[in-house]
Amino acid sequence: MFKAIGIICILIGCVGWGNRKIGQERERIRQLHTMRRILERIRAEIAYGKHTLPEICLMLTEINDIRYQKCFQRIYQAASVSGSGLPALWKAEFEAFLKDQPLQEEERELFVGLPDRLGFQEETGQAESIGRLEELLAQKAGYAEEGCENKTKMIRSVSILTGLLLTIWLL
């Protein structure tokens, strides 16, 4: 009786671990799409609206993702108070926020380093720079989506096999 309960607990634990990893991969893809949409909005506001980055941060407080809303709101408020240092504010805010997200380090750095890419004086150069970054994130999201199905199958198989192996080993 106790062995059967132990076997079930081990299998459930391993399958739960696998489902958590699958959920993290899906969250990564969702984050990449969200970051791409944010960059698309920033690019459009710079190119067509001729807005500055602090003004755009205020506009981005209206996006659907509450976590990003709060980041942009804090950046805008801090930039309004200090009047300068937006790249440092952006970097500090998004480094703190994105470190807990299931993103790869390169993906984090692309988004955190956005203000450094805005070194051009004219809006078209800034918009083109953001457009290239947007394309890169879209490409990464596409690759992640393509591999997600196979990765999901592999993680599920490994988690079940790990549970079976642990069961056999502990019995």
- Encoding tokens for residue 47? 């190119």
What whole-number distance in Å separates Cα of residue 126 and Cα of residue 6? Answer: 59
**Banded model confidence at residue 119, pLDDT cuts 50, 70, 90:** low
Q: Would you kindly state where each structural domain of the chain is located, as residue ranges? A: 32-146
State the chain's mean pLDDT as an integer. 85
> Helix (H, G, I), strand (E, B), or coil: what is residue 120?
coil
Give the pLDDT score at 116.
77
Q: Would you place residue 33 in the very low, low, confident or very high pLDDT band (cuts 50, 70, 90)? A: very high
Q: How far is residue 70 CA from its own chain's centroid? A: 15
CA distance 164 to 10: 8
Which amino acid makes up residue 91? K
| CA separation for the pair 127, 152 (Å, rounded) | 36
DSSP state of 93: H
Backbone angle region of 50, left / alpha / beta, with phi > 0 → left and psi within -120 to 50 → alpha:
left
Q: pLDDT-based confidence at 121, cuts 50/70/90? A: low
pLDDT of residue 2: 82
Give per-residue burial for 130-141: e unless 16+ CB within 10 Å, then b.
bbebbeebbebb
pLDDT in tens, 124-138: 777 888 888 888 888
17 falls in which pLDDT band (50, 70, 90)? very high
- pLDDT, residue 83, reads 62
| pTM of the complete model | 0.81
In terms of pLDDT, which residue wins out, 126 or 94?
94
Distances in whole angstroms, Cα of residue 65 to Cα of each of 22, 35, 61, 123, 152: 21, 10, 9, 27, 25
